[in-house]
A = this chain, B = another copy of it.
């Protein structure tokens, strides 16, 4: 896959907002095209959890594993060819085993937990892990302090991993919220990245539990209103490529569709990308007052991820240069 060369385009500083599997795919495509100084990936930490004293950051790890080509291609999360001997031993010792803790994955959690106990910030620890994995792009957790996404469901208030992994997304979601008594603070590195970005790309992640946590941090939404923002739909043909986004849309009273995703970001987006299969929704999205382009977005392999990122970046460049000449 060729890299963008300076002759083809001006430098474009991109901040990508990402959740787990879908977000990581586009982030990997962007990373194949943009040099490290032009791409920073800001990742949701609302799903973070503690398990046996270990700090686990599922979305951050999916991005780390995907960018370092460690990810399990069949699940999208976890490490490829991982084993589960420790988890089996924990179960044989009477522990709950619903959280899928791979043996190689454990190494990441051990290093992160030790870094935090040594007094490093989550941002420092994730930076350290990215370097250890040979990743040259910057990956930032959205914030340093825990800021869990809470789901009010017909089975009570659940944190995300309990809802997602233990309960297999079966409870009906009534409301998604964060601790509004004490709003989350984006890390200084996240705020600086967003301030300096020529373009903020919302990766195809669940709007409610992957992107909204980032947007819910103090000052982020206001800052993004001053930035050029683009999003790629995580919904194709009314379905989420992975995860519970479509089910959540329905439970929260929306018809799951690409244009419904665009509507949730209406006040922020300059351009929305949807899948070629949803081309019929172009007018609906345009009626929300934003540009829209249909592109292939399933991105199973790195080649397709890079192609999708390439199409997005070129279109964003075109729109931005049009904006500059107007």
A residues with a Cβ closer than 8 A to B are 52-54, 79, 82-83, 85-90, 92-95, 102-108, 110-111, 113-114, 117, 129, 132-133
Contact = CB atoms under 8 A, between A and B. Distances in A.
B86 A86 contact: yes
Contacts of A92: 107
Contacts of A132: 93-94
Contact of A86 (B104, B114, B117, B129): B104
A114 B83 contact: no
Contacts of A95: 107, 111
A234 to B, nearest CB: 30
A285 to B, nearest CB: 43
Given A85-B104, A107-B86, A93 B52 contact: no
In the assembly, how many copies of this chain are there? Answer: 2
Contact of A89 (B88, B90, B94, B103): B103
A93 to B, nearest CB: 4
Nearest to A133: B93
Contact of A117 (B53, B94, B104, B108): B53
Contacts of A129: 93
**Top-10 shortest CB links A-B:** A89-B107, A85-B103, A89-B104, A53-B114, A93-B132, A90-B107, A86-B103, A103-B103, A52-B110, A86-B106
Contacts of A108: 89, 93
A95 B104 CA distance: 13
B79 A82 contact: no
Contact of A106 (B82, B89, B111, B113): B89
A107 B87 CA distance: 7
Given A83-B103, A94-B132, A54 B110 contact: yes
Given A93-B133, A132-B93, A133-B93, A88 B114 contact: no
Contact of A113 (B53, B88, B94): B53
Contacts of A102: 85
Contacts of A105: 89
Contacts of A117: 53
Contacts of A113: 52-53
Contacts of A111: 52, 90, 93, 95
A204 to B, nearest CB: 29
Nearest to A104: B89
A91 B114 CA distance: 15
B103 A52 contact: no
Contacts of A93: 107-108, 111, 129, 132-133
A69 to B, nearest CB: 13
A92 B95 CA distance: 28
